[in-house]
Amino acid sequence: MENIVLNNKLECPVVGIGTFMLAPADAENSVREALKMGYRLVDTANAYVNERAVGRGIRESGVDRKEVFLSTKLWPSEYENENAVDETLERLGVDYVDLLYIHQPAGNWLTGYRQLEKAYKEGKAKSIGISNFEGKYIEELETKWDVVPQFIQVEAHPYFTQTELRKTLDKYDIKLMSWYPLGHGDKSLINEPVFAELGKKYGKSPAQVILHQWTF
């Protein structure tokens, strides 16, 4: 599977499995089977309440931990909890995560970001990121970070291109990881004629065309 190189030289797979809204049993099964199929990026969060199940799914897959790019997110209520990172690792059953985000610019989010930086420097997070940050929050963080984030995770797709945000990200080689890359679950985006035409031209499905352009 194709990888991209982050601004700290770490490699990350371009396609992965997300576990938002998956009950623990479903998350465990989905992660296990996805890894067996060849997926190597797994995304979860404190707020999904399935981190223990995700960890079990990884272990049950038989795939070496070093081959899995594991991503999770600290919830705002944990930003001021000095044990939040260690507790997250304990739930996942791992010594480190490959990517650690703060989930939202809410509460004392700068303290949350300092937790990410500390985890990064201690080797508990191989890369760090921000989720759902836009506009004034990014401008503020830009003046205060000690470690430049490797990722931002936000909604992005052909109906919501994030053009201005991408200009800021390009300055620091921060990668954009899209959620809702295929839109909000309806078929309007997938059925846009332009993607069918491009798919026919390159021998790909409309979804593959969209994901190639907008996932990162």
Total-model pTM = 0.94
Given the residues 48, 79, 113, 120, the one annotated as active site: 48
- At 158, the amino acid letter reads P
Do 203 and 123 fall within a single domain? no
Identify the CATH number of the domain in which residue 88 sits. 3.20.20.100
73 near 88, Cβ under 8 Å? no
Q: Residues 46-50: what's their mean pLDDT?
A: 99
Do 87 and 28 fall within a single domain? yes
Do 116 and 134 fall within a single domain? yes
Domains of the chain: total: 2
| Residue 79 among the catalytic residues | no
Do 172 and 193 fall within a single domain? no
Q: Express each pLDDT in 148-184 by its tens digit.
A: 999 999 999 999 999 999 999 999 999 999 988 888 7
Per-residue pLDDT at 75 exceeds 80: yes
Phi-psi map region of 97: left, alpha, beta (phi>0 left; psi -120 to 50 alpha): beta
Tell me, what's the pLDDT at 30?
Answer: 99
Tell me, what's the pLDDT at 184?
Answer: 76
Residue ranges making up the domain that contains 209: 187-216
Tell me, what's the pLDDT at 116?
Answer: 99
Tell me, what's the pLDDT at 216?
Answer: 59
Tell me, what's the pLDDT at 82?
Answer: 97
Do 59 and 23 fall within a single domain? yes
Do 205 and 149 fall within a single domain? no
